[in-house]
Structure 1
Amino acid sequence: MATETLENVEGRDIGSGVSIIRERTDVDGSGPRLHQHPYRETFVIIHGRARFTIGDDEREGGAGEVLVVPADTPHKFAVIGPETYEAVHIHESDRFVTEWLE
């Protein structure tokens, strides 16, 4: 059975300068479409794998890795199943600001 959990916490709601997305999913191929932020985003991968597109680069990220996307850089990712992908996405902003590109 496919499961997805997504928790968003904006820093301004808790007195922090960063916002966080906690993601957990076993849906192969799931992930956000191409987008960018006016600040850095850091992906801390706890479990599983995903294929990341960061600017013109494409790479696989797996458990224990940390990937940093520079500000104003188009990016997306897709979960590589069948393992569950679990990660914390740290946005260097007290609120989410996203420009969707596709």
Structure 2
Amino acid sequence: METLISRADGREDGEDWTENYEQLPGGAGVSIILESTTKEGVGPRLHQHPYAETFVIRRGWATFTVGAGDGARELVGRAGQVLVVPAETPHRFRTGRDGYEAVHIHANERFVTEWLE
């Protein structure tokens, strides 16, 4: 059976929407974070997951740090791009001056996060 999930705050738009969804109905097998902000310089500290995380960037941009130490790379992800961070790979991001809107797809039905800083 299909399931339609609405915003918890009752709004009917995508602005300033930050919501986490775990154990989605219908056996989706993924969890998602919906992220929408007009603020610059926000994002999570360095962390990793035992599964891949996919970022579908819808608006604005963010600077992603992928990896740690000498192997770390910085990538600018922009609207219309998709970034896949492999399992067990440290990563973080900071939103750009134009804000950021994306869907973060965790390849697991629950969030499992190891914070590294």
Q: TM-score, with normalisation over the residues of structure 1?
A: 0.91
Among candidates 60, 78, 84, match of residue 99 of structure 2: 84
Aligned counterpart, 1:36 = 48
1:66 aligns with 2:66: no
Q: TM-score, with normalisation over the residues of structure 2?
A: 0.80
Deviation at 1:44, TM superposition (A): 0.3
Flag the 1:52–1:85 CA change in 2: closer, same or farther, 3 A.
same
- Structure 2 stretches of 5 or more lacking a match? 1-14
Tell me the distance in 2 between the aligned counterparts of 1:27 and 1:5.
Answer: 12
Aligned counterpart, 1:93 = 108
Aligned counterpart, 1:45 = 57
Tell me the distance in 2 between the aligned counterparts of 1:13 and 1:89.
Answer: 14
- Aligned partner of residue 17 in structure 2, secondary structure: strand
Deviating beyond 4 angstroms after TM superposition, the runs of 4 or more aligned structure 1 residues are none
CA deviation digits over 1:59-84, x for unaligned, max 9? 10000000000000000000011x23
Whose radius of gyration is greater, 1 or 2?
2
Deviation at 1:4, TM superposition (A): 4.5
CA deviation digits over 1:32-63, x for unaligned, max 9? 00000000000000000100001111110000
- Structure 1 stretches of 5 or more lacking a match? none
Aligned residues: percent identity? Answer: 61
Contact 1:4 1:27 in 2 (8 A): no
Q: Which amino acid aligns with 1:74?
A: P
Instruction: Name the count of aligned residue pairs.
Output: 98
Structure with the higher strand share, 1 or 2: 1
Tell me the distance in 2 between the aligned counterparts of 1:44 and 1:13.
Answer: 18
Q: Which amino acid aligns with 2:91?
A: H
1:5 aligns with 2:13: no
The CA RMSD over aligned residues, in Å, is: 1.2
